């Protein structure tokens, strides 16, 4: 008689079910556009994104630079935040900032 317990494994990849979506068209010229900066709330992300936005703004002279901060790095942006970013901006940058 075999008293060993069966071994089970966990696959952390999971299964993602999402509808494919087309990418947005690339902006031909960034000059004068409204830039959204999406900060994921990691410790160094804000600094990295602020610095990157400043460098980009020197080159492209955005009409606005708007910053948004997620609840935390492990959370997705809320649908309301995504709608706000899409409605009030032309382009968006984000980064992890580790």
Tens-place pLDDT, residues 15-51: 878 899 898 889 999 999 999 999 999 988 999 999 9
**Statement: residue 98 has pLDDT above 60:** yes
Model's pTM, two decimal places? Answer: 0.77
Q: Is 15 left (phi over 0), alpha (psi -120 to 50) or beta?
A: beta
For residues 49 and 73, give the distance between their C-alpha atoms in angstroms, rounded to a whole number.
Answer: 14
Query: What are the structural domain ranges in the chain?
Result: 34-95
**Got the DSSP string for 21-46?**
-PPPPPPS--TTPEEEEEE---TTHH
* 92, 35 contact by CB (below 8 A): yes
């Amino acid at each position: 008689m075999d008293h060993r317990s069966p071994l089970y494994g966990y696959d952390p990849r999971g299964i993602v079910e999402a509808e494919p979506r087309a990418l947005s068209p690339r902006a031909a010229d960034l000059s004068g556009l409204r830039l959204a900066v999406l900060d994921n709330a990691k410790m160094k992300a804000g600094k990295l994104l602020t610095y990157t936005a400043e460098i980009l703004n020197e080159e492209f002279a955005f009409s606005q630079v708007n910053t948004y901060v997620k609840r935390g790095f492990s959370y997705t942006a809320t649908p309301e935040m995504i709608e706000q970013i899409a409605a009030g901006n032309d382009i968006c940058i984000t980064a992890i900032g580790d």
